[in-house]
Structures are given as C-alpha cells and as structure tokens.
C-alpha cells in the first residue's frame, strides 16, 4: 500500500471552466499548468499564469466582446491552480467562449465548461470555441435577486440594529411607516447611483459610517426627537446605508444587461425583508410601550445597548489593524 501514489484532487489532462453569475473560474491541476507554464510559486508566477491562460481567451455576448476585471490567481487544495475574474458584457445574448490557450497544451487535454451549475461543453485543442445560452431568464433573475435582498437584510446585523433603534421611538404604526419609508427612499437612491456607477463611495468609508449612524440614532433616542426630525434624519442616514447595500451588487460584477432587473429585484427583496421585520417587531413594541417606565428607563437602556454595539463596530471597521 505504501507504493501506491497519492490521489490527485485535480486530474492532469482535465481542467474545468465555470461561469457562475458574472464570474469566470478556471481550475487546473498544477502539473498541467507547469506543462506549458514553468513556475515555482503560484503568487510569484501570477502574471505568467494569467498570460498563459485567461489572457488568451475571449468572451462575447450577443456578438460583442465582454471585458474582464483583473484576474486573481491562487492555489486550491494541494495540487490545483485557480484563475478567477469577474466579467462585464455590454449587451445580452448568447455567450461565446474562445479558448486559444488550449493550443499550447497537450492535444489530449480536455476542459469541461459549466454555466450556473450546468455543463454546456467540452473543449480541446481542436475544439476551442463553445456557444451557450446567456443564463437564466428574467423571472429566474428576479427570484434570485429578491431572495438575495431578503437574505441581505435578515443577516445584516448592522442594518437590523439601525432599524431597531429607529423603531424604538416611533411609537404608533403610522409613525413607524413614516420612518421606514424615509429609510427606503434614501437607500434606494444611493443603491441605484452606486450600482450603476454614477457615484460610489469606497467601503473603507461606508462601513464605519454605517456603524456611526447606529451610534448616532441610539444616542439621539435619549432626547426623544420629534417625528418630523427623525424622518429627515432617517432619510439622510439611509443614503449611507444604500452605499452599503450596493457593495454586494457591485461585488457580483453584474453585466449591464441585467443591472436594471437586479436593482429592482434586490431592492424589492430588501423591502420585503424590512416589512417582515417590522411585522414581527410591531406587536412587541406596541406591547412594550404600554409597560411602566418604558419611556424613561427601558427604551433608553435598549438604545444605549444598540449605540454600544454600533460603537464597537465603528472601531472594528475604522481601525482594523488594531484588532489583528
């Protein structure tokens, strides 16, 4: 048994090309890459690997050339090399992948092509071009991005803390709706501006600012701000949170042809997520507001707890080096 060679996770002679959403991932066995691109270390040979693989390929949608972001190269498992990049296509339509890099590989090499979890082709040095459908239809895209928006708001603890701080002083249902509506309109504006590239802010500024907004609202609750002032304040701070929502969509590298559907669907998902949270919180808040000492003790204590959490997130995000 000791003479049996170790199994390889990435078989030489077979590589994979996966397109998932707006990202391309190519995975080779390390020995396969070394066969046409000598290198000692993946990081040191990053440019050489890129020039010998994805740089010798092209992707077209609807007959027009798509652009690729700067590729990433990394070792995977013990014996694999992955080349990954986001892409952007100017129009919708059938996709065509041309793999000229296969000319430099062993004629026996094969590369599987998988799009959104479905295999669509098998490439070789003799068959280097594959054409396939552009992806899911509109209804499927809507469902995916609505789900993404709901998941993002449900798991976004900072956005949830911000909403909780706002609702603590809202009181009656109409007041809550005014506050949530102001937040919705605001983050919809900046989400659209950032995701379309009209105006963006770097996450290094946005994330600490979101945490600071939580601190501000939590502390302001102690002074019982009037409803009109709270609505306008919520609107202004909601603009910052919109840039935070947009960060997720920007990271996906969405093609322009899918951007409108993605924005509307994602925003709808965020609103559904918020509505579900308000629906659950409303009965509890209305019950709590009728308890003794809610206004002078319970609400201020909860607000300070939320402000304290925001302060912790602020320092964690503003000074990350101090926590490593």
Last residue of a domain, one of 100, 115, 132: 132
Last residue of a domain, one of 76, 101, 132: 132
Is 263 among the domain residues?
yes
**Phi, psi angles (nearest 5°) of residue 34:** -65, -20
Is 91 among the domain residues?
yes
Does the predicted model carry a pTM greater than 0.75?
no
Q: How confident is the model at residue 308 (pLDDT cuts 50, 70, 90)?
A: very high
Which of 33-37, 97-101, 231-235, 288-292 bottoms out in mean pLDDT, i.e. has the lowest?
33-37
Query: 142 is in which domain, residue-wise?
Result: 138-323
Last residue of a domain, one of 78, 105, 132: 132
Q: Are residues 100 and 166 in the same domain?
A: no
Q: Are residues 186 and 212 in the same domain?
A: yes
- Summarize pLDDT for 49-82 with one digit per residue, the tens: 888 888 899 999 888 898 888 888 888 765 678 8
pLDDT at position 3, please?
Answer: 31
Q: Which of 192, 261, 271, 179 is nearest to 225 (CA)?
A: 179
78-94 burial: b if 16+ Cβ within 10 Å, else e = ebbbbbbbbbbbeeeee
Is 88 among the domain residues?
yes
Q: Are residues 185 and 105 in the same domain?
A: no
Is 4 among the domain residues?
no
Is 41 among the domain residues?
yes
Mean pLDDT score, 182-193: 87
Is 161 among the domain residues?
yes
Cα 184 from chain centroid? 20
Is 304 among the domain residues?
yes
Is 301 among the domain residues?
yes
Q: How confident is the model at residue 10 (pLDDT cuts 50, 70, 90)?
A: very low
Question: For residue 73, what are the β-bridge partners?
Answer: 83
Whole-number Cα distances in Å, 150 to 161, 174, 198, 274: 16, 23, 25, 8
Rg for the chain, CA atoms, rounded: 25
Mean pLDDT score, 205-219: 93
Q: Are residues 80 and 160 in the same domain?
A: no
């Amino acid at each position: 048994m000791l003479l049996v060679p170790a199994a390889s996770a990435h078989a030489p002679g077979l590589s994979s090309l996966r397109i998932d959403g707006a990202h391309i991932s190519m995975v080779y066995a390390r020995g396969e890459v070394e066969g046409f691109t000598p290198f000692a270390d993946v990081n040191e040979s990053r440019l050489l690997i890129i020039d010998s693989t994805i740089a010798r390929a092209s992707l077209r949608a609807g007959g027009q050339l798509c652009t690729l972001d700067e590729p990433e190269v990394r070792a995977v498992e013990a014996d694999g090399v992955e080349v990954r990049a986001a892409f952007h296509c100017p129009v919708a339509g059938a996709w065509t992948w041309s793999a000229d890099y296969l000319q430099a590989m062993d004629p026996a090499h094969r590369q599987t092509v998988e799009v959104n979890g479905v295999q669509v082709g098998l490439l070789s040095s003799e068959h280097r071009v594959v054409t396939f459908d552009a992806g899911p239809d509109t209804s499927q895209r809507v469902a995916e991005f609505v789900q993404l928006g709901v998941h993002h708001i449900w798991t976004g603890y900072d956005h949830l803390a911000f909403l909780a701080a706002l609702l603590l002083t809202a009181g009656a249902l109409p007041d809550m709706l005014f506050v949530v509506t102001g937040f919705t309109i605001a983050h919809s504006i900046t989400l659209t501006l950032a995701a379309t590239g009209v105006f963006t802010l770097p996450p290094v500024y946005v994330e600490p600012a979101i945490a600071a907004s939580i601190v501000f609202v939590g502390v302001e609750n102690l002074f019982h701000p009037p409803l009109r002032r709270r609505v306008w304040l919520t609107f202004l701070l909601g603009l910052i949170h919109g840039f935070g929502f947009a960060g997720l969509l920007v990271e996906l590298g969405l093609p322009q042809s899918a951007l409108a559907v993605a924005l509307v669907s994602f925003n709808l998902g965020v609103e559904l997520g918020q509505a579900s949270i308000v629906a659950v919180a409303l009965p509890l808040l209305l019950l709590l507001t009728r308890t003794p000492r809610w206004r002078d003790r319970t609400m201020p204590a909860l607000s300070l707890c939320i402000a304290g959490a925001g302060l912790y997130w602020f320092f964690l995000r503003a000074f990350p080096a101090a926590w490593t």
